[in-house]
Chain A
């Protein structure tokens, strides 16, 4: 488990069609995927986005990544500041509406765009139309791989036991529960050990984790206990925000258990 292995020159990301030899591609090889890189990935965990790119290139897809993107607006929206959130949403729509398909390695950002954008523009018909259009073509990473591309085996290898954390917005609001597990099953050598209450909140909740640190920390402590009970070498998730939260306590407890975004797991060879 050397995360550093994943970082580095993007041009080394392989383009190799053998990774999808056992799967049926529902879309053409020339499909271009436009990446929305969640702010935490962009600023703290760039290796996750690199892994996403590596996986897509391995599938022979073309990847675009608009370089003026910033944030989907979720922090403002969840705190009640709709005006600020609307600014972010308009900007997001302007940047991404020309894309054929948008993929984001974060369930909660996809939930924001897919479900909250249309609500945000409920009183503005023309923006509402544009929001609806964008909401239909954004996909969470694992959802896109399994549901859209029909990929389950990426030729990945990982030696060890992993456990999977169902992040709240991904599992409850996007209904993505099966897809990541299918992908983990396809990783050679990875043994999936389910933790108890895998869909219980990790206590992150955005600003909640900073403003109500003790409640958040207590919820997180339970989550980390459930993870450690499995004896897994790594906890895998689809939302870096949860993983950052979980990794923060694992690190505080000096635990060797790694917190991996699913893209990182799939990028292991």
Chain B
């Protein structure tokens, strides 16, 4: 399992906000992707309502997940493929290691796979002496830099072209350039040698199809096709929820995925893979292994309030519109899944209490829901997570402890029940703020715990006489003007 550092969200966010290179890299990317994706939904022949249909298909698939997985496994085995059901990260990683050992694998080429990040597969194989080469350009860049990915589909979005130029000059021995085509060509050349000499290819799975018994891989670069076509062995990793019932359902899902991910009509490459090279065929891997991974997903599936997050097709559209992600990037989320989807799925996979800042540190703006190609209601689940944290939930190992917040809201709920007391509170506040107000009549510095507000902005002071009090003085307690005395 990847290292979980969700508890360090605030520190990570503070570092990110102070990092001028990151801020430069993040500035502008959302403006380029976010609006274009929204426009691409509007341009769908079926209209943006297709997103709701796609969600219905995904939810239907989840309700029949057991049957779909069984069918997928059966059909793949019929074609000579191997299917391994891994209950957790360790089982999945050790299976991959076993396959690599059996084939005496020296070099692995990988297509980008978020679930492989989740189970930290690279580290497991590298510890076994295997050279693991990430081949998605962004992922290759972060691997060379010794960093994890910071975005679900654009792993090196936190890096500027200058940084990539310096990195390639150092690691690939090329002359420094910050020209993206030249840098891309350098990676193309370096990775071609790796593809042609690798013993094993590892990919993820976008959306498997139960009806026909295929996984699918999606890319624009062609690296996943390389990794799944050229080496002797292909191991595909699949989060157990990444499956749909019928082939026909892929029609809308692939079009929506391409729009959500990059405002494209269609990804450059989609492959349906349902087994190893068949006997008379001239290429393709001799062995195909599919590893289907639970690793906490069944607990999410069981909770109907959160099941919907398993509809996610990892397009990253929500990252591309989220104001928080746009400011702090992916690292503060402390796990491979970042942004709004990470704010929900990461705490569910790795601990709600520990990861509370991921779902608390969000203004609930709802941009993610509108951007999602399968219409996942992320804001609803952010609220649901907050409720579990507040109330405690043994099913999620959240203790029911008495917090300062809870005490505050208990007092608050008493206060707001009594208008007189409420009024007194306002007056008390108004009196207390006198020493806070600055020269212009605005408050420039508040004491704890409200000091956060005035760190970046001023505050208008409380009025001496609330609107309701003025109204009551004018119209009486009933507040109805016809009853004016």
The chain A residues found within 8 Å of chain B, CB to CB, are: 10-11, 32, 37, 41-46, 49-50, 62-71, 73, 75-84, 87-88, 91, 168-169, 172-173, 196-197, 199-201, 203-206, 208-222, 244-245, 247-249, 251-252
Contact = CB atoms under 8 A, between A and B. Distances in A.
**A88, A206, A211, most chain B CB atoms within 10 A:** A211
Nearest to B440: A251
Interface string B432-472: 00000000101010000111110111111111011110111
Contacts of B172: none
A67 B466 contact: no
A156 to B, nearest CB: 21
B210 to A, nearest CB: 33
Contacts of B365: 168, 172, 200-201, 205
B422 interface: yes
The secondary structure that dominates the A interface is: helix
Q: 4 closest pairs, A vs B, by CB?
A: A205-B363, A248-B457, A80-B386, A217-B456
Nearest to B475: A65
Interface string B378-396: 0000010111111100000
B247 interface: no
**B10, B472, B481, most chain A CB atoms within 10 A:** B481
Contacts of A200: 323, 365, 367
A82 to B, nearest CB: 6
Interface of B: 10, 13-14, 17, 31, 35, 323-324, 326-328, 357, 360-367, 369-370, 383, 385-391, 405-406, 409-410, 412-413, 415-417, 419, 422, 426, 429, 440, 442, 444, 449-453, 455-463, 465-468, 470-472, 474-482
Contact of A205 (B357, B364, B465, B482): B364
A213 B459 CA distance: 14
Contacts of B461: 44
Contacts of B370: 172
A70 B419 contact: yes
Given A43-B462, A67-B472, A220-B457, A82 B391 contact: yes
Contacts of A210: 449-450, 452-453
A72 to B, nearest CB: 9
The secondary structure that dominates the B interface is: helix
**B328, B412, B422, most chain A CB atoms within 10 A:** B412
A81 B417 CA distance: 16
B416 A71 contact: yes
A98 to B, nearest CB: 11
Nearest to A66: B479
B416 A216 contact: no
B390 A81 contact: yes
Contacts of A215: 13, 17, 324, 327-328, 361
Contacts of B460: 44-45, 244, 247-248
A67 B419 contact: yes
